[in-house]
Copies of this chain bind each other. A is one copy, B any other.
Amino acid sequence: MARAVETPRSEDKLTRQREAVLQVIRAREDHPTANEIFQAARLNLPTISYATVYNSLRFLKEAGLVHEIKFGDGASRYDRETDRHDHAICNECGKLVDFDLPQTAELMQAAARKSKFKAASVHLTLKGVCPDCRAT
């Protein structure tokens, strides 16, 4: 009897290069830029190209495996996709830190009511001074 046709899952299309990009992001505590990811991925897969890093990032975003963060100045940064969370940015050293505000369900409702949008997500950005910079 023939094996049942399996529903393809996003992992099925994880090529070597997409895998490499994903590994880089998962291995890091910080939020690397596309360029940093490219540099790191080349260590494992020396022929990978810049365009492929971008293609892979798009693929991984769409598959919900990584998350793109765009702010302020310069390049996008990428996050391994964990739970919903918020970001704090240090006005002095530029450091970007994750945190999570628990009451987001209510926040989302309140924001939806005020904006008249149907809310899909809410995200909070705090700007301020990080603990390290406060110490100095």
Which residues of B are found within 8 Å of A128, using beta-carbon distances? Answer: 112, 115, 117-121
A65 CB–B CB distance under 8 Å: no
Which residues of B are found within 8 Å of A72, using beta-carbon distances? Answer: 70
| Chain B residue at smallest Cβ distance from A97 | B115
Which residues of B are found within 8 Å of A73, using beta-carbon distances? Answer: 70
Give the segment of A16-24, A25-33, A39-47, A99-107 that binds chain B. A99-107
Of A88, A90, A120, A126, most buried by chain B (CB within 10 Å of CB) is A126
Main secondary structure of the interface of A (DSSP, over half): mixed
A3 CB–B CB distance under 8 Å: no
Tell me whether B100 and A116 are in contact (CB under 8 A): no
Tell me whether A117 and B129 are in contact (CB under 8 A): yes
A50 to B123 Cα, complex, angstroms: 33
A110 CB–B CB distance under 8 Å: yes
Interface hits, A86-136 → B, CB 8 Å: 86, 88, 90-91, 97, 99-101, 103, 107-108, 110-112, 114-131, 134
A35 to B115 Cα, complex, angstroms: 27
Which residues of B are found within 8 Å of A122, using beta-carbon distances? Answer: 124-127
Which residues of B are found within 8 Å of A114, using beta-carbon distances? Answer: 86, 99-101
> Which A positions have Cβ atoms within 8 angstroms of B?
70-73, 86, 88, 90-91, 97, 99-101, 103, 107-108, 110-112, 114-131, 134
